[in-house]
Amino acid sequence: MNLTDYGFLPQMYSTDAEGTYARVIAVHKGHYSLFTEYGECSAKLKAGVYFNNCTEEFPTTGDFVEIQYNTKGESLIIKTLKRKSKFARNDSSGHGIAYAKTIKDQTVAANFDFVFIMQSLNHDMNRKRLERYLALSWQSGALPVVVLTKTDLIEDYSATLALVKQVAIGVDVHAISAKTGYGLEGLADYLKKGKTVVFLGSSGVGKSSLVNALAGKVVMSVQEIRENDSKGRHTTTHRQLVRLESGVMVIDTPGMRELGMWNVSEGLDESFSDVKSFLGRCKFSDCRHENEPGCIIRMEIENGGIALERWESYLTLKKEAAFVDDKAAYLREKDHQHVTMKVWERQKKKDARNNNRH
Ligand SMILES: Nc1nc2c(ncn2[C@@H]2O[C@H](COP(=O)(O)OP(=O)(O)OP(=O)(O)O)[C@@H](O)[C@H]2O)c(=O)[nH]1
Ligand SMILES: [Mg+2]
């Protein structure tokens, strides 16, 4: 097997490369598991390249790296190749070198083609979380796909499916069961040789179970969810890239607890295309969509053109994206938005009461 079997493309070769190439299959404390032309090996970062105020980005699972291969011991990683997609908690662009040092290890998966956003039909389905995942996935540069799991536990999930399709605009939605194999053939389009798919979702939704079902054997460990509150047990503890016999690569991730404060500013355009299509059409170009005359957004919310909860989700995620850039500005804005939303809601209730009286 060679590195092209792990997704390496000829255009990634550089004539001035100082070493050989590898793909990161897992990140551990202090060292990395890599796949190389010579098979799997362990490696660490070259200090003079990655530390001491150097700006080279720390590698993450899925990254292609340049290494000095060592036949006798740990190899040395000397360069992180440019990523085609990534999940990043923050974006280092625009920040100085000193700051970059503290945030350059914030990328948690890289170089994937598809993101499977996984929620379980029996317990985990949550619209707001789905919106967050969708924005994050669009932002990553890969294509999101929604995978609803555990169909075998639910008799009729048609209402959930309809809701998800409403939120996941322009995104394929699949319902599957890793237990019975239901719906797995519908995923074939994404599971092609040389492609990489990353699985995202809360603990216990069945990410590792799906990896095993696709592999046809146990490659990831799976644990019963907790009986008292149906929560997962955070069984998968680090991100791992697994190559299946079909040639597709899967990055299984631990259920992410801290999905809140990720930079999703660019992903919002795609995931909220329904809301976005009305933006910029108000009478005033600097309309804040509060009480201004000629506000198209408010008008569409009144008329049902935009669902109020979609608008609120959009505002929430937009504010969080702003937070990533500027904490202070975020707090001021949050206060202001909160107050005006409350005033607006109170006014609506008052109007409704008045209307009922007449
Ligand atoms: N009935 C049923 N149970 C499933 C299915 N898929 C997964 N499970 C069960 O759900 C529980 C959690 O599955 P995992 O695959 O460990 O979940 P995970 O998303 O990898 O969880 P973390 O690694 O903690 O993030 C296990 O008890 C699985 O057997 C399914 O399709 N049907
Ligand atoms: Mg798991």
Q: Where are the domains of the chain?
A: 3-81, 112-252, 272-353
Higher per-residue pLDDT: 282 or 107: 282
18 CA distance to ligand 2 centroid (A)?
Answer: 37
Establish whether residue 16 lines the binding site of ligand 1, counting it when its CB lies within 6 angstroms of any ligand atom.
no
Closest ligand (CA of 233) = 1
- Average pLDDT (275-294) is 92
Structure tokens at 121: 């039909």
**pLDDT tens profile 65-88:** 999 999 889 999 999 999 999 987
Establish whether residue 334 lines the binding site of ligand 1, counting it when its CB lies within 6 angstroms of any ligand atom.
no
Q: What is the pLDDT of residue 107?
A: 80
Establish whether residue 225 lines the binding site of ligand 1, counting it when its CB lies within 6 angstroms of any ligand atom.
yes
Place of tokens 């069984």: 235
Q: What is the pLDDT of residue 93?
A: 40
Ligand 1 test: best mutation among 222, 251, 259, most atoms within 8 Å of CB?
222
User: 1-10: string of b/e by CB count within 10 Å (b at 16+)?
Assistant: eebeebbbee
- Average pLDDT (250-265) is 71
Q: What is the pLDDT of residue 331?
A: 57
Q: What is the pLDDT of residue 83?
A: 94
Show the 3-state SS of 156-171. CCHHHHHHHHHHCCCC
| CATH architecture assigned to 3-81 | Beta Barrel (2.40)
| CATH architecture assigned to 272-353 | Orthogonal Bundle (1.10)
Q: What is the pLDDT of residue 99?
A: 41
Q: What is the pLDDT of residue 78?
A: 94
Ligand 1 test: best mutation among 157, 174, 202, 209, most atoms within 8 Å of CB?
209
Of 104, 33, 28, 25, nearest to 75 by C-alpha is 33
Residue 255 pLDDT more than 90?
Answer: no
**pLDDT tens profile 300-343:** 999 999 999 899 989 988 887 776 666 555 555 666 676 677 77
CA-to-CA distance for 161 and 121, rounded, in angstroms? 9
CA-to-CA distance for 241 and 6, rounded, in angstroms? 10
Give nearest CA residue, ligand 1 atom 14: 206
Q: Are 246 and 36 in contact (CB under 8 A)?
A: no
Instruction: Specify the CATH number for 112-252; select among 3.90.76.10, 3.40.50.300, 3.90.1150.10, 3.90.550.10.
Output: 3.40.50.300
- Average pLDDT (97-107) is 49
267 CA distance to ligand 1 centroid (A)?
Answer: 28
- Average pLDDT (129-141) is 90
- Average pLDDT (238-264) is 80
CA-to-CA distance for 106 and 100, rounded, in angstroms? 10
CA-to-CA distance for 312 and 309, rounded, in angstroms? 5
**pLDDT tens profile 13-39:** 888 888 899 999 999 988 999 999 999
CA-to-CA distance for 268 and 317, rounded, in angstroms? 8
CA-to-CA distance for 131 and 153, rounded, in angstroms? 24
Of 187, 205, 201, 204, nearest to 136 by C-alpha is 201
Higher per-residue pLDDT: 123 or 54: 123
Establish whether residue 337 lines the binding site of ligand 1, counting it when its CB lies within 6 angstroms of any ligand atom.
no
Establish whether residue 236 lines the binding site of ligand 1, counting it when its CB lies within 6 angstroms of any ligand atom.
yes
Establish whether residue 350 lines the binding site of ligand 1, counting it when its CB lies within 6 angstroms of any ligand atom.
no
Q: Are 244 and 210 in contact (CB under 8 A)?
A: no
Establish whether residue 253 lines the binding site of ligand 1, counting it when its CB lies within 6 angstroms of any ligand atom.
no
Residue 40 pLDDT more than 70?
Answer: yes
- Average pLDDT (33-48) is 93
Higher per-residue pLDDT: 230 or 23: 23
Establish whether residue 120 lines the binding site of ligand 1, counting it when its CB lies within 6 angstroms of any ligand atom.
no
φ/ψ region of 82 (left if φ > 0, alpha if ψ in -120 to 50, else beta) reads beta
Establish whether residue 56 lines the binding site of ligand 1, counting it when its CB lies within 6 angstroms of any ligand atom.
no
CA dihedral 106, 110, 112, 117 (to 10 degrees): -20
DSSP string spanning 20-46?
A: EEEEEEEE-SS-EEEEETTEEEEEEE-
Cα 306-140-237 angle, rounded to 5 deg: 110
Closest ligand (CA of 235) = 1
233 CA distance to ligand 2 centroid (A)?
Answer: 9
| 202 Cα nearest atom in ligand 1 | 25
Q: What is the pLDDT of residue 325?
A: 60
CA-to-CA distance for 21 and 10, rounded, in angstroms? 11
- State the average pLDDT for the chain: 85
